[in-house]
């Protein structure tokens, strides 16, 4: 037997992920100690892991690395996505600290699963091979399935977890089938080599069907129409902190992976997928916004709003070039702060020992808790896209990219939708400032970590709204390695 | 002779030899059990000592009425004995009885054995379900629990000699024991052998792990509704599996056909060792009491599985530092 | 010979897959799935991927299917689940969708599946698989262990009786 020649293992590009996964292992071990340690300590360890990963990510900026035979590509694109994911996950952990103990079991496993899921997201954004992409997606999703059903004594939580799991597994099988067909067509799972093998025969039926199945799988993960059915139920049933993670981190990671696959491996088929995604983007925005109008539950409302936002982001994917994906990256950053903030306000409010999730619960909030109401108001205004908040700039870049790429009508649909969306966001603001509560409305549950998270998110959306240029330039530059 | 015909002939010989052997193994067990309980055991058929008892048993079972319960799921019920028997016979396919004397000495021999023997549960389950009898169903459920729990320790224990020999091929594993049988291999060999025997007991559903056919609770377990030839097939499968596992144990730990004397004595040595393992298992069977379901599962998941994984790791580490091939 | 073997096994696989889909009885369906997985393992064998075949049998036919059947047995489906689908009308949708799929398949077959570049033929032996796992596919291999750990933690979290 010839001895096994181990290939050189470059740990460097894996460092951010390793830190997160290591923190997850540490959290599990801390939870095992015979003398129970405080939940705060466990949460702090989790937070430290995420901050460490963020620092490791920032330290590698501008120093792209590839490892494991190009299975892992930690270029600026992945690093940018990592920053978004780490911020989102860190905000979620901070929001969870007091929220969980109040509403259900707060266990060490919760933080471990959040970290596992985050590790999966980071790998997903950096996957240079369809196999790694699939495994990372599974790591992310499996953890989220469990987290969604954390409050298992509540029927809605079990429903959420079940629906998410079954539909998610179904979608993953589509993705896997797509990967298999692409492998069949090109003989490789490596994204770069797929691009090389597919060059010049974009209409190979195997490749086209594989691309279609891949888009179905991704469509589920980013909850684009017609694969959005799960989102409202899951967002509503899952613990609010987990909902925030699903809405921000998992979406950012899946979109980043989608862009990487489409722009590198399947760039030859761009005319095909651009047309398809054009339609999907238009329908997704419209359905999300129209259905959101009828929602009275704030979590469901935000779920439909997040569907609509995926529609906006798909505009950037369709636009292509460097402007489109760059705009999507920037939008992901703004969206992560905004949405995590909006869900964060929800975690801080309760009504009669239960979560305050109905729009009516927030009537008159401005009178009782002006700061909190102002925060939620700002997050919602950012979601509408009112200048000078981050949401406006993000939308501006997206629509500008679309117009420049010649997709004028798509941009028009996007603008019309934004106007439509203003109605239901502003309705909440109206409730907070102009209505009197029926009975006792939502009341604030003070939490230092939660407040800190909200403050960070607020600073984020204002900062990104007021001086967007440096960040947008970074996002544009981050896309460059994909386009080579 | 063309290779295909050679394989077919070999398979025919092995099949018949095994069937004959299995029949007499039952006699061996009955005699052995009788001795342990100060009885004589079968005596009158084929005096003295009942040499013809297995034949008489077979004839009796063949002539018995075949009863199918009205409410049985007929297709599943009728197929179950065959589905149960086939893997039990198939495991002999990769066992070489001497160098170059076997049906097929695959390079994944051990793995093939493990894979095929894990299929046994399908037939067992079909029998338990198809009979439409609550005892049978309970037995099948218990069997699923138990066999799933003990499959892993069984595999891990069997992999220790594989690591020591550096091959999954049965003949290579035997050749690697030329100097030292693996059962005598310091520490690893003995521990693995103990784990192997325990896991074998459980995989064969033998006392103390025979909850799935516990007479006092479940009458006869999954085969309670079977009679006549179908019952005979199930019985045959069970003993064939038992003996096959004994052969595997002899091959993995006791040096297979290695032994003093000329080469043609090899198969005899091998048979002797296999019977030794068989008797070891039988001895446990007739000496111990049955343990509870939860205890059985606890032993597997809390003790045997971690221990066997640790053992496998330790062996791997040892082999990695010293190099494979003993 | 190989060709004939392929045809027989493939027919078996397709027939058992049909059996799985068409049988009303969930247990029968599951047993058909065992046959299906077994025949896929046999296909692997004919391709020379012995290791894959053995693992397929151990993992799928031996372990996963048994758990599957066990789950079905514990939750023996009641009448409401085996009865008529309350939304039978939706089934009519299967016609256009199926027709569309058939059309697509036809187009694909007509277009001829492009020159498939076969993956470099590697021997399916254990050694070759191990070599690949620990060199080229090291990252996915290690990642799988993290995935399994996360799954295990999750299952324990959900299955624990009181938290």
Q: Which residue has tokens 């953890």? A: A143
φ and ψ of B101, to 5 deg: -120, 90
Taking an 8 Å cut-off on Cβ atoms, the answer to whether A209 and C108 are in contact is yes
Q: Inspect the interface and report whether the beta carbons of A142 and C137 lie closer than 8 Å.
A: no
- Residues of C within 8 A of B141 (CB-CB) are 70, 73-74
Residues C121-158: tens digit of each pLDDT:
556 577 778 888 888 888 899 899 999 999 998 888 88
State both tokens at A289: 């916004």
Cβ contacts of A109 on chain C, cutoff 8 Å: 153-154, 156-157
Does the pLDDT of residue A42 top 50, yes or no?
yes
A25, pLDDT greater than 80: yes
* Closest Cα in chain B to C71: B141
Element spanning A29, H or E: helix A15-32
Tokens of B6: 């050679």
Confidence of residue B212 (pLDDT cuts 50, 70, 90): low
- Does domain C1-77 fall under CATH 1.20.120.1200? My reply is yes
Question: Beta partners for A297?
Answer: A358
Name the residue facing C113 among A6, A146, A205 (closest C-beta): A205
Residue A343: phi and psi, rounded to 5, are -65, -30
Comparing CA positions, the residue from B114, B102, B66, B92 lying closest to residue B234 is B66
Distance CA B193, CA B199 (A): 10
Q: Look at C50 and B73 and tell me if their CB atoms are within 8 Å.
A: no
The dihedral through the CA atoms of A208, A214, A218, A219 has a sign that is: positive
**pLDDT confidence of residue C3:** 78
| Residues of A in Cβ contact (< 8 Å) with C111 | 203, 205
- Which of A257, A178, A255, A168 lies closest to A214, judged by CA? A178
Q: Is A213 on the interface with C (CB under 8 A)?
A: no
Contact A207 C114 (CB under 8 A): yes
Long-range CB pairs of B177-183, under 8 A, 24+ apart, other chains included: B177/B255, B177/B256, B177/B258, B177/B326, B178/B258, B179/B326, B180/B326, B181/B253, B181/B254, B181/B255, B181/B258, B182/B252, B182/B253, B182/B254, B182/B255, B182/B326, B183/B253, B183/B254
Above 80 in pLDDT, residue A333? yes
Q: Identify the pLDDT of residue A51.
A: 93
Q: In the prediction, which pLDDT does A124 show?
A: 92
Q: Which of C34, C49, C54, C77 to mutate to test the interface with B (most CBs of B within 10 A)?
A: C54
Question: What is the mean pLDDT of the segment spanning A344-357?
Answer: 79
Query: Which residues are within 8 A (CB) of A381 and not within 5 positions of it... i.e. 6 or more apart?
Result: A389, A391, A425, A429
Q: Assign residue C50 a region: left if phi > 0, alpha if psi is -120 to 50, beta otherwise?
A: alpha
pLDDT band at A282 (very low <50, low <70, confident <90, very high): very high
Residue A265 DSSP one-character state: I
Tens of pLDDT, residue by residue over B51-78, are 888 888 888 888 888 878 887 778 888 8
Q: Which of A217, A310, A223, A317 is nearest to A262 (CA)?
A: A317
> pLDDT > 90: what percent of chain B?
0
| Residue from A326, A342, A337 nearest A471 by CA | A326
CB contact under 8 A, C31 and B118: no
Q: In chain C, whose CA is at the least distance from the CA of B123?
A: C31
Strand partners, A351: A354
Pick the more confident residue, C114 or C59. C59
Among chain C residues, CA nearest to A101: C163
Give a three-class secondary structure readout of B49-60.
Answer: CCCCHHHHHHHH
In this predicted model, what pLDDT tens digit does every residue of B237-275 receive, in sequence order? 888 888 888 888 888 888 878 777 777 777 888 888 888
Min distance C85 CA to chain B CA atoms (Å) = 25
State how far Cα A317 lies from the chain centre: 15
Chain A positions touching C153 (Cβ under 8 A) are 28, 109, 112-113, 116, 146
Kindly state the average pLDDT of the residues C51-75. Answer: 79
**B-interface mutation test, from C5, C49, C58, most B Cβ less than 10 A away:** C58
> Is C100 at the interface with chain A, CB within 8 A?
no
- pLDDT value at residue C85: 66
Q: How far is C119 from chain B (nearest CA, A)?
A: 23
What mean pLDDT comes out for the span C46-70?
80
pLDDT one-digit tens code per residue, A126-164: 998 999 999 999 999 999 998 888 877 777 888 888 889
Contact A235/C at CB under 8 A: no
pLDDT range class, residue A106, cuts 50, 70, 90: low
Contact C150 A143 (CB under 8 A): yes
Locate the domains of chain C by residue range.
1-77
Give the ipTM of the model, two decimals please: 0.89
Q: Which residue in A5, A28, A206 is closest to C113 by CB distance?
A: A206
**Prediction pTM value:** 0.87
Size of interface B-C (CB pairs under 8 A): 73
Instruction: Say what the pLDDT of residue A143 is.
Output: 92
pLDDT band at C1 (very low <50, low <70, confident <90, very high): low
A206: nearest CA in chain C?
C113
pLDDT at A2: 65
Q: What residues of C are in contact with residue A14 (Cβ under 8 Å)?
A: 139
Give the one of C137, C143, C157 whose C-beta lies nearest to A109's C-beta.
C157
Judge: A205–C127 Cβ closer than 8 Å, yes or no: no
- Average pLDDT on B104-133 reads 81
Q: At what angle do helices A76-103 and A323-348 cross, to 10 degrees?
A: 10
Pairing of strands A349-351, A443-444: antiparallel
User: Please, which residues 60-89 of chain C have a Cβ atom closer than 8 Å to chain B?
Assistant: 61-63, 65-67, 69-70, 73-74
Is C51's CB within 8 Å of B122's CB? no
CB atoms within 10 A of CB A9: 12
Q: Say how far apart CA B78 and CA A359 lie, in whole Å.
A: 62
The gap between the terminal CA atoms of chain C, to the nearest Å, is: 60
Chain pair A-C, CB pairs under 8 angstroms: 104
φ, ψ for residue A238 (rounded to 5)?
Answer: -70, 155
Alpha helix locations (H) across A238-322?
240-245, 251-260, 270-293, 298-319
Does C80 score more than 60 pLDDT? no
Q: Compute CA distances B25 → A377, B29, B235, B241, whole Å.
A: 82, 6, 12, 12
Please indicate whether, in this complex, the C-beta atoms of C57 and B147 are within 8 angstroms of each other.
Answer: no
Enumerate residues 6+ apart whose C-beta is below 8 A from A437.
A360, A361, A363, A364
Average pLDDT of chain C to the nearest whole number: 78
- CA A46 to CA A332: how far, in whole Å? 23
Pair of tokens at residue A229: 């059915």
Q: Which whole number is the average pLDDT over A203-217?
A: 85
Q: Please tell me the number of Cα atoms within 13 Å of B61 on its side-chain side.
A: 18
| Chain centroid, CA C95 distance in Å | 25
Q: Which residue, among B147, B311, B312, has the nearest Cα to B245 in the 3D structure? A: B147
Cβ of C114 and A206 within 8 Å? Answer: yes
Q: Shortest Cα distance from A4 to chain C (angstroms)?
A: 7
Option in C31, C38, C51 nearest B111 (CB):
C51
Q: Are A123 and A71 in contact (CB under 8 A)?
A: no
Q: Does residue B166 come out as left (phi exceeding 0), alpha (psi in the -120 to 50 range) or beta?
A: left
Contact B114 C54 (CB under 8 A): yes
Least confident of A19-28, A198-207, C53-62: A198-207
Place of tokens 């939502």: A442
- Report, as an integer, the average pLDDT of A316-329: 88
Residue of B nearest to C74 (CA): B141
Q: Residue A292, Cα to own-chain centre: how many angstroms? A: 19
CA distance A380 to A338: 8
pLDDT, tens digit, 9 for 90 and up, residues B89-104:
888 888 888 777 777 7
Per-residue CA distances from A365 to A13, A98, A139, A379 (Å): 47, 21, 39, 15
> Are the C-beta atoms of residues A280 and A228 closer than 8 Å to each other?
no
Nearest to B182 by CA among B107, B115, B258: B258
Chain C: give the shortest CA distance to residue B4, in Å.
12
- What's the pLDDT at A257? 93
In the numeric block, which tokens belong to residue A325?
Answer: 């994906």
Residues 6+ apart with CB under 8 A from A155: none
Nearest to B115 among C28, C62, C126 (CB): C62
What is the C-alpha to C-alpha distance for residues A30 and A37, in angstroms, rounded to an integer? 7
Chains in contact with A, where contact requires at least 3 CB pairs less than 8 Å apart:
C
Mean pLDDT for A431-437 is: 83
Provide the phi-psi class of A389: left if phi over 0, else alpha when psi is between -120 and 50, else beta.
Answer: beta
| Cβ distance of B122 and C31 shorter than 8 Å | yes
| Chain-chain contact of C135 with A150 (C-beta, under 8 angstroms) | no
Q: What is the mean pLDDT of chain B?
A: 81
pLDDT of residue C123: 60
In this structure, the number of other CB atoms found within 10 A of the CB of residue B284 comes to: 17
pLDDT > 70 in chain A, percent: 98
Residue of C nearest to A144 (CA): C154
Reported as a single tens digit per residue, the pLDDT across A235-259 is 988 888 899 999 999 999 999 999 9
**Reported confidence tier of residue B143, pLDDT bands at 50, 70, 90:** confident
* Rg for chain B, CA atoms, rounded: 20
pLDDT at B2: 67
Helices B134-165 and C65-74 cross at an angle (nearest 10°) of 160
Write down the number of H helices and E strands in chain A.
20, 5
Q: Please give the residue of chain A at the shortest CA–CA distance from C159.
A: A152
Burial class (CB in 10 A: 0-12, 13-18, 19+), A245: buried
Q: With contacts defined as CB-CB under 8 Å, which chain A residues touch C141?
A: none
Tell me the CA distances in angstroms from A89 to A85, A92, A115, one per residue in order: 6, 5, 8
In order of B63, C84, C154, the CA distances from C81 in angstroms are 43, 8, 28
pLDDT attached to residue A24: 92
Mean pLDDT across chain A, nearest whole number?
87
Residue A229 has pLDDT above 80, yes or no: yes
C28 has a chain B CB within 8 A of its CB: yes
> Residue B326 — pLDDT band, cuts 50, 70, 90?
very low
End-to-end, the C-alpha distance of chain B in Å comes to 37
Contacts of residue A463, Cβ cutoff 8 Å, sequence gap at least 6:
A390
Q: Do B115 and C55 touch (CB under 8 A)?
A: yes
- Taking any CB pair shorter than 8 Å as contact, residues of chain B touching chain C are 73, 75-76, 106-108, 111-112, 114-116, 118-119, 121-122, 125-126, 129, 137, 140-141, 144-145, 147-148, 151, 155, 168
Three-class secondary structure assignment of A65-85: EEECCCCEEECHHHHHHHHHH
Query: A14 to each of A21, A45, A66, A112, B302, how far by Cα in Å?
Result: 11, 20, 9, 19, 34
């Amino acid at each position: 037997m010839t001895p096994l020649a181990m290939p050189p293992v470059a740990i460097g590009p894996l460092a951010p992920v390793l830190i997160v996964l290591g923190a997850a292992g540490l959290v599990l071990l801390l939870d095992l100690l015979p003398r129970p340690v405080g939940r705060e300590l466990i949460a702090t360890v989790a937070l430290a892991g995420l901050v460490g990963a963020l620092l490791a990510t920032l330290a590698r900026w501008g120093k792209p690395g590839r490892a494991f035979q190009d299975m892992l590509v930690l270029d600026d694109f992945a690093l940018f996505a990592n920053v978004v994911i780490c911020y989102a996950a860190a905000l979620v952990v901070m929001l969870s600290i007091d929220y969980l103990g109040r509403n259900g079991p707060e266990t060490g496993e919760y933080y471990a699963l959040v970290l596992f899921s985050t590790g999966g997201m980071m790998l997903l954004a950096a996957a240079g091979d369809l196999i790694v992409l699939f495994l990372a997606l599974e790591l992310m999703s499996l953890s989220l399935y469990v987290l969604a059903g954390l409050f298992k004594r509540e029927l809605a939580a079990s429903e959420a977890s079940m629906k998410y799991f079954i539909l998610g597994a179904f979608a993953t099988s589509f993705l896997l089938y797509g990967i298999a067909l692409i492998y069949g067509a090109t003989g490789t799972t490596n994204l770069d080599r797929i691009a090389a093998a597919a060059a010049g025969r974009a209409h190979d039926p195997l490749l086209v069907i594989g691309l279609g199945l891949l888009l179905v799988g991704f469509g589920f993960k980013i909850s684009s129409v017609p694969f959005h059915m799960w989102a409202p139920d899951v967002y509503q049933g899952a613990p609010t902190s987990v909902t925030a993670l699903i809405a921000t981190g998992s979406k950012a990671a899946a979109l980043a992976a989608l862009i990487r696959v489409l722009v590198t491996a399947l760039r030859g088929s761009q005319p095909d997928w651009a047309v398809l995604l054009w339609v999907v983007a238009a329908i997704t925005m419209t359905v999300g916004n129209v259905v959101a109008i009828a929602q009275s539950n704030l979590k469901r409302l935000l779920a439909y709003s997040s569907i609509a936002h995926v529609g906006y982001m798909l505009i950037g994917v369709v636009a292509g070039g460097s402007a489109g994906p760059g705009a999507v990256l920037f939008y992901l950053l703004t969206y992560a702060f905004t949405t995590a903030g909006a869900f964060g306000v929800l975690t801080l409010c309760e009504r009669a020992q239960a979560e305050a999730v109905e729009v009516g619960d927030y009537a008159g909030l401005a009178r009782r808790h002006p700061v909190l109401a102002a925060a939620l108001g700002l997050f919602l205004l950012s979601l509408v896209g009112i200048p000078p908040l981050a949401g406006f700039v993000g939308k501006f870049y997206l629509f500008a990219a679309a117009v420049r790429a010649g997709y004028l009508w798509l941009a028009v649909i996007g603008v019309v939708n934004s106007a439509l969306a203003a109605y239901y966001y502003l309705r909440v603001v109206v409730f907070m400032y102009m209505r009197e509560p029926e009975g006792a409305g939502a009341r604030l549950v003070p939490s230092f970590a939660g407040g800190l998270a909200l403050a960070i998110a607020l600073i984020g959306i204002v900062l990104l709204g007021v001086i967007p240029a440096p960040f947008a330039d970074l996002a544009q530059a981050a896309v460059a390695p994909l386009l080579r | 002779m063309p290779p295909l015909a050679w394989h077919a002939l070999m398979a025919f010989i092995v099949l018949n030899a095994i069937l004959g052997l299995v029949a007499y193994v039952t006699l061996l067990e009955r005699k052995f059990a009788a001795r342990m309980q100060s009885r004589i055991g079968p005596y009158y058929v084929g005096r003295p000592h009942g040499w013809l008892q297995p034949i008489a048993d077979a004839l009796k079972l063949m002539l018995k009425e075949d009863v199918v319960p009205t409410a049985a799921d007929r297709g599943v019920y009728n197929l179950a004995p065959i589905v149960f028997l086939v893997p039990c016979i198939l495991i002999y396919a990769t066992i070489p009885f001497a160098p170059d004397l076997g049906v097929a000495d695959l390079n994944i021999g051990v793995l093939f054995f493990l894979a095929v023997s894990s299929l046994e549960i399908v037939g067992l389950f079909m029998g338990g379900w198809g009979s439409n009898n609550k005892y049978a169903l309970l037995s099948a459920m218990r069997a699923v629990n138990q066999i799933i729990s003990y499959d892993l320790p069984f595999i891990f224990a069997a992999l220790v000699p594989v690591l020591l020999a550096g091959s999954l091929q049965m003949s290579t594993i035997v050749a690697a024991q030329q100097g030292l049988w693996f059962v005598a291999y310091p520490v690893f060999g003995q521990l693995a052998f103990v784990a192997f025997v325990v896991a074998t007991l459980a995989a064969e559903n033998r006392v103390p792990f025979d909850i799935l056919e516990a007479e006092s609770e479940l009458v006869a377990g999954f085969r309670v509704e079977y009679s006549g030839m179908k019952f005979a097939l199930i019985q045959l499968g069970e003993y064939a599996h038992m003996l096959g596992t004994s052969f595997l144990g002899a091959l993995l730990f006791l040096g297979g056909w290695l032994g003093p004397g000329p080469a043609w004595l090899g198969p005899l040595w091998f048979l002797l060792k296999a019977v030794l393992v068989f008797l070891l298992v039988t001895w446990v069977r007739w000496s111990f009491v049955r343990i509870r379901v939860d205890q059985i599962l606890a032993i597997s998941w809390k003790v045997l599985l971690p221990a066997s994984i640790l053992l496998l790791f330790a062996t791997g580490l040892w082999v990695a530092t010293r190099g494979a091939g003993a | 010979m190989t060709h004939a073997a392929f045809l027989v096994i493939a027919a078996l696989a397709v027939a058992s897959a049909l059996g799985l889909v068409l049988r009303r009885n969930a247990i029968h369906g599951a047993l058909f799935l065992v046959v299906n997985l077994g025949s896929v393992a046999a296909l692997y064998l004919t391709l020379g991927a012995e290791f894959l075949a053995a693992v397929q049998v151990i993992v799928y036919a031996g372990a996963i299917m048994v758990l599957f059947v066990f789950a079905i047995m514990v939750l023996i489906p009641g009448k409401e689940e085996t009865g008529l689908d309350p939304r039978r009308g939706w089934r009519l949708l299967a016609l256009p969708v199926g027709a569309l799929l058939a059309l697509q398949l036809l187009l694909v077959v007509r277009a001829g599946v492009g020159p498939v570049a076969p993956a470099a033929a590697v021997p399916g032996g254990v050694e070759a698989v191990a070599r690949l796992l620990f060199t080229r596919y090291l990252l996915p291999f290690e990642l799988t262990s993290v995935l399994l750990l996360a799954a295990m933690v999750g299952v324990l979290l959900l299955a624990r009786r009181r938290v």
